[in-house]
């Protein structure tokens, strides 16, 4: 390994964990800088002033530090992604509410114009009678039948006028309330948009940090890191299965569950993208929400809301189509496909894949449509 390469490993772990693991006593890091005046190619002896042109690759313990920190960075990115998705969902809902209020305002304005026309017509009719109220003309009538008919019409007219004025006043009040609600809704919409932007910045920051760490590893070290990840997942899966959680389990699924599983499997190989819900890329909850949408069962968009709102079932009763929620903060979700496996969209740089259902820390299991 070249001198510069060893320096990159040191820098990577420094960025990753901000600790001195790689500079601990007894651990050889980057080759020391050549002594002043020494040529780059000289000095293979053991003298304290000799330069070194190569050093050993990172140890497994050093790569394990990198692996754990990468998990932390991508975990934080997943949390921020849930924040982003939630803010976007709320913004969409708020937009729909504002559109609905706008339609009600338009209808209210039309109704208000109609009521004002009615009130104006009544005023014009009174003007045509010389300004005398209808009761005055009625009192001048000598015909009893005309008097009774007139009294009935006057009563109906007064009621109609009173009703028109009441409706006019109520419509004006409704319009004022709609306007207030729309204004408040707009403020909430803007707040949700700002929240989404903040979450977007968090996501990009965490992903950029993780990508920087990975970019500073040599190809051989990336292969070894992937092997460490695989072994850690296998250990977690074996430990989960050893609990007997699937002993006597039934892998039969509902019709909707089978449809959701089939949809998720059809997405295998598609790239992870935060905030995406298909058809070409997915984040973790984008995949699960779309899988169940394909089954005709709408569920919440984010993993945290899926955990919060859907019916919880025990892992022993888990069946294909159920959602497995991971991590104590419900920051990841996968779709159980049976036989101890799940399908999920893992993280940036990865694709939709099938993995052991117990390969990550399980928070619980929920069942859509229950």
Decide: 28 and 56 in contact? Cβ < 8 Å.
yes
Among candidate residues 284, 291, 318, 365, the one labeled active-site is 284
DSSP type of residue 320: T
- Distance, in Å, from the CA atom of 220 to the CA atom of 57, rounded to the nearest integer, reads 9
Neighbours of 79 (CB within 10 A): 21
Among candidate residues 332, 335, 342, 346, the one labeled active-site is 332
Among candidate residues 67, 270, 301, 344, the one labeled active-site is 344
- Distance, in Å, from the CA atom of 28 to the CA atom of 142, rounded to the nearest integer, reads 122
Its sign, for the CA torsion 252, 253, 259, 265, is negative
* Three-class HEC string of 120-150: HHHHHHHHHCCCCCHHHHHHCCCCHHHHHHH
Distances (CA, A) of 45 to 2, 25, 35, 41, 363: 17, 22, 13, 12, 56
Listed residue (341, 321, 345) closest to 333, CA to CA: 345
- Residue with structure tokens 């014009």? 124
Decide: 87 and 94 in contact? Cβ < 8 Å.
no
The question of whether 75 is a catalytic residue gets the answer no
Listed residue (102, 114, 112, 109) closest to 179, CA to CA: 102
- Distance, in Å, from the CA atom of 244 to the CA atom of 360, rounded to the nearest integer, reads 17
Decide: 154 and 135 in contact? Cβ < 8 Å.
yes
- Distance, in Å, from the CA atom of 157 to the CA atom of 36, rounded to the nearest integer, reads 109
Listed residue (220, 310, 297) closest to 255, CA to CA: 297
Structural tokens at position 64: 């394990």
Its sign, for the CA torsion 362, 257, 88, 188, is negative
C-alpha angle 343/329/243, rounded to 5°?
60
Dihedral in degrees, nearest 10, Cα atoms 136, 140, 143, 144: 50
Residue positions annotated with a catalytic role:
284, 332, 344
């Amino acid at each position: 390994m070249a001198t510069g390469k060893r320096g990159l490993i040191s820098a990577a772990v420094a960025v990753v964990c901000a600790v001195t693991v790689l500079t601990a006593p007894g651990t050889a890091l980057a080759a020391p800088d050549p002594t002043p005046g020494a040529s780059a190619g000289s000095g293979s002896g053991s003298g304290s002033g000799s330069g070194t042109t190569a050093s050993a690759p990172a140890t497994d313990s050093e790569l394990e530090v990198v692996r754990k920190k990468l998990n932390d960075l991508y975990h934080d990115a997943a949390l921020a992604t849930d924040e982003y998705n939630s803010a976007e969902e709320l913004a969409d809902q708020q937009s729909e509410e504002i559109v609905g209020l706008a339609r009600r305002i338009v209808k209210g304005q039309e109704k208000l114009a109609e009521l004002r026309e009615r009130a104006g017509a009544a005023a014009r009719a009174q003007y045509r009678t010389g300004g005398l109220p209808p009761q005055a003309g009625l009192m001048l009538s000598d015909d009893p039948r005309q008097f009774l008919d007139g009294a009935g019409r006057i009563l109906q007219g007064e009621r109609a006028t009173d009703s028109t004025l009441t409706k006019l006043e109520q419509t004006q009040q409704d319009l004022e309330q709609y306007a207030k609600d729309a204004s408040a809704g707009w403020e909430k919409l803007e707040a949700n948009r700002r929240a989404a932007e903040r979450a977007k910045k968090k996501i990009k920051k965490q992903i950029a940090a993780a990508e920087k760490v990975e970019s500073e590893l040599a190809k051989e070290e990336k292969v070894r890191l992937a092997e460490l990840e695989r072994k850690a997942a296998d250990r977690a899966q074996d430990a989960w299965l050893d609990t007997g959680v699937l002993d006597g389990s039934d892998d039969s699924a509902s019709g909707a569950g089978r449809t959701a599983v089939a949809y998720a499997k059809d997405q295998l190989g598609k790239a992870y993208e935060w905030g995406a819900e298909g058809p070409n890329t997915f984040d973790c909850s984008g995949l699960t929400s779309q899988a169940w949408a394909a089954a005709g069962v709408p569920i919440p968009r984010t993993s945290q809301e899926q955990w919060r709102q859907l019916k919880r079932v025990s892992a022993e009763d888990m069946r294909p189509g159920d959602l497995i929620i991971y991590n104590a903060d419900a920051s990841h979700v996968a779709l159980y496909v049976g036989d101890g496996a799940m399908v999920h969209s893992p993280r940036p740089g990865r694709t939709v894949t099938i993995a052991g259902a117990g390969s990550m820390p399980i928070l619980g299991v929920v069942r859509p449509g229950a």
